Structure 1
Amino acid sequence: MKIIDRNGRLFGKISVIDVIVILAVIVMAAAIYVKTHKPQTGSNVSTTTIVYQMEVHNQPEYMLDAIQVGDQIYDKERSTGGSLGTITDIQVSDGTYEAELHDGTCEVVPAQGRYNLLLTIEGQGLIDENGNYLLNRVYNLGVNSSREFNNKYGLFLGRIVSIDTAQPEG
């Protein structure tokens, strides 16, 4: 008796192609079992609360209504990363700009109808081994970084002025 007959059957009973398909199904089932039943080897990394302050300069009056405590903040360029935190406090001061006077000197003068905002924002993230703050585990946050941020009502250029892991006092 031959191992494979002229019809391509093993021992005259089962097709070689059927054997290959059965072996492929067995290998896939074993791979799925191993993948779903292997023990977890990674460690849980807990996030920490990161509190940062952002300056937003020379905003028109309607932005005072558009930016509110409780709003979520996002980065326009990284919309898939989720919220970068929740506004917990807003301090408002009169806007200013640098003007060139008639005598050629420059001076900071009030900007009529404009306001500076200092937003305190609280988000969840990690602090890596180099001391970098990572909001949502991926969004690198650094002091003096300026980016376009937005909430659900407005888009604005903000500059990070401080970062801490605890709520600032006062």
Structure 2
Amino acid sequence: MKKIIDKNGRLFGLVSLIDLAVLAIAAVLVAALLMKDTASPIVNIAAPMDDISYELTISNMPEGRLNSLKVGDTLYDNETYNPVGTIADIKTEDCVISILKADGTFDYATVEGRYNVVLTVDAKAITDERQHIYVNRSSLVALGWSLNVYTQASTFSGLITGLTK
């Protein structure tokens, strides 16, 4: 009959107990990292929602994608699939990139068919006790945050560059 733990400290002669302990600790750490940011925000359901407006800046947007955006389109969050507002205004400017020249200086050039776009988005939001703003009670918005959104015709990501309550 085989011993449970042999003279080398292996379980059933196959796996070391130390190896099992290391694997268990690694599994717990991986689970903790995966679950770290998955908690839903605790938001007062009864709190009234306020009107806010924020600017979403999209760089280097192709002309075809720009043409698919219309004032009045609803934006949806790619993570929660909840609406995060309605496009109130669309401002565009030519996309300009910097080019490194052979002498080590930079020059600027316009990219044909590409645009930098600023969307003004109107939304309903609540503010929690830590002054975090949640659009539609689910999507956190703050200055400098990246927001991945989609409409019925397009998907893109932008940076929140303005926020007005």
TM-score by length of 1: 0.67
What do the CA deviations read for 1:45-65 (whole angstroms, capped 9, x no partner)? 110011000101111111221
Aligned residues: 122
- For 1:84, what is the secondary structure of its paired residue? strand
Q: Which has the higher strand share?
A: 2
The two structures, once aligned, show a CA RMSD in angstroms of 1.7
Shift of 1:89: 0.3
Decide whether the 8 Å contact of 2:87 with 2:119 is kept in 1: yes
The reply to whether residue 154 of structure 1 matches residue 154 of structure 2 is yes
1:146 maps to amino acid: S
Shift of 1:43: 8.6
Where does residue 54 of structure 1 map in the other structure?
56
> Structure 1 unaligned runs (5+)?
1-41, 166-170
1:1-150 aligned at under 5 Å gives the runs 44-79=46-81, 82-150=82-150
Shift of 1:86: 0.1
Taking only the aligned residue pairs, the percentage that are identical comes to 29
User: Which of 1 and 2 has greater Rg?
Assistant: 1
> Structure 2 unaligned runs (5+)?
1-43
- The whole-number CA distance in structure 2 between the counterparts of 1:70 and 1:43 is 27
Shift of 1:148: 2.0
- The whole-number CA distance in structure 2 between the counterparts of 1:91 and 1:56 is 10
What do the CA deviations read for 1:127-168 (whole angstroms, capped 9, x no partner)? 122221111112111111113211111111211001111xxx
Q: Judging changes above 3 Å, is the alpha-carbon distance between structure 1 residues 103 and 61 closer, same or farther for their aligned structure 2 residues?
A: same
Of residues 44-53 and 94-103 in structure 1, the stretch that sits farther from structure 2 once superposed is 94-103
- For 1:77, what is the secondary structure of its paired residue? coil
1:52 maps to amino acid: Y
TM-score by length of 2: 0.68
Q: Judging changes above 3 Å, is the alpha-carbon distance between structure 1 residues 144 and 108 closer, same or farther for their aligned structure 2 residues?
A: farther
- For 2:83, what is the secondary structure of its paired residue? coil
- For 1:85, what is the secondary structure of its paired residue? strand
